[in-house]
Amino acid sequence: MGEVDPAFIQDAEHRPKLSNTKPGDGVEGVPLIDLSQIRASDADDHDPRKNEDLVREIGSACEEWGFFQVINHGVATETRRSIESAARAFFGQALEEKRKVRRDEKSLLGYYDTELTKNVRDWKDVFDMAAVEPIIVPSTPDPDDHDLLEWFNQWPDYPPEFREACEEYARETGKLAMKLMELIARSLGLPANKFKDYFKDQTSFMRLNHYPPCPFPHLALGVGRHKDFGCLTVLAQDDVGGLEVRRKSDGEWISLKPTPDAYIINVGDIIQVWSNDRYESVEHRVRERFSIPFFLNPAHYTVVKPLEELIDEDNPPKFRAYSWGKFLIHRSHSNFKKQNVENIQTYHFRLQ
């Protein structure tokens, strides 16, 4: 990966230490939810009396943890194995081959690594692709700039099955994400299809994460502590694991051991805003491993704010409205340009 940026080393003392993790905790307390009650054929069935126990489980997991695992989710095992195999083949190539499809400031879709983003302190290789192509975003974070950009996927020549495996996986995990959004809506006392229209022109994307051995492992995590700023994340991790969640009850870091063929689901900042803090986006971090997150995000023109159905005199709005597209493009610019101020965060929109 080349020489390490000196700022990376200087920043190490501010990074969370892995010794905070309680290895014996495993997945204790983190809900494991069986989705076998729901079927793809029920996609348009919004009978509020159905699956009430499951809805309560989902709501409790979102409120108490912000994280849960799902089994019997409907994503075929072969679909997952195919993308894992294709991803390992891609990342196993020489660096110059992978960089033939590298991302740039005009489009954040494609390959990048630590050396391509000098301001990033995370040690990893990444390949990003749009779940629905193209992703449409504002050209700048300037609210007076109404020009739009289109981000298109880039596909490597090797392995030849890479594109097909990625597209099939994105379709299947996208269906799972939307089914979970129906359950989350119902858990908030809303109609199951409440969130459907937000995703007609979605900006969702999928990421292949590879965490190669770091020459300075005591200085780095695969991904440092953070919250997901989108809507909902559907994560597949390998049998090595590596995901650590900050438990809400006491702030301890809990390691989530892999459950075969399960997906890890976490609430993002947008759901926290929509629910007006009822469901909180929770900090997490990653050690070296291989993983595939699917990030469900709304259309660029979405105005994110607490839902009117969930606010009243006793529960006033806790966030001011913000443009998701402007937020997303502002965050994307920070991947290539050092910022003189803290990168924009969802909590900057919190009302005092």
Most confident listed range (19-33, 41-55, 140-154, 267-281): 267-281
Quote the pLDDT of residue 286: 76
> What would the 3-class secondary structure string for the chain be?
CCCCCHHHHHHHHHCCCHHHECHHHCCCCCCEEECCCCCHHHCCCCCCCCCHHHHHHHHHHHHHCCEEEEECCCCCHHHHHHHHHHHHHHHCCCHHHHHHHECECCECCEEEEHHHCCCCCCCCEEEEEECCCCEEEECCCCCCCCCEEEECCCCCCCCCCHHHHHHHHHHHHHHHHHHHHHHHHHHCCCCCCCCHHHHCCECCEEEEEECCCCCCCCCCCCEEEECCCCCEEEEEECCCCCEEEECCCCCCEEECCCCCCCEEEEECHHHHHHCCCCCCCCCEEECCCEEEEEEECCECCCEECCCHHHCCCCCCCCECCEEHHHHHHHHHHCCCCCCCCCCCCHHHHECC
What's the confidence (pLDDT) of residue 288? 61
Question: pLDDT tens across 149-205, in order?
Answer: 999 999 999 999 999 999 999 999 999 999 999 999 999 999 999 999 999 999 999
- Confidence at 258, pLDDT banded by 50, 70, 90: confident
HSE, CB side, 13 Å, CA atoms: give it for residue 58: 24
- Mean pLDDT score across all residues of the chain: 83
Could you tell me the pLDDT band of residue 6, with boundaries at 50, 70 and 90? very low
Specify the pLDDT at position 111: 96
- Mean per-residue pLDDT, 243-261: 87
pLDDT at 257 over 60: yes
Q: What percent of the chain has pLDDT over 70?
A: 78
Q: Which of 180, 170, 142, 149 is nearest to 268 (CA)?
A: 180
pTM: 0.85
Domain 6-349 matching CATH 2.40.50.140: the answer reads no
Whether the per-residue pLDDT at 140 is higher than 80: the answer is: yes
pLDDT digits (tens, 9 = 90+) for 37-83: 885 445 445 555 668 999 999 999 999 999 999 999 999 999 999 99
Cα-Cα-Cα-Cα dihedral of 251, 257, 260, 261, to 10°? 40
pLDDT, tens digit, 9 for 90 and up, residues 321-351: 999 999 999 888 665 455 444 567 888 889 9
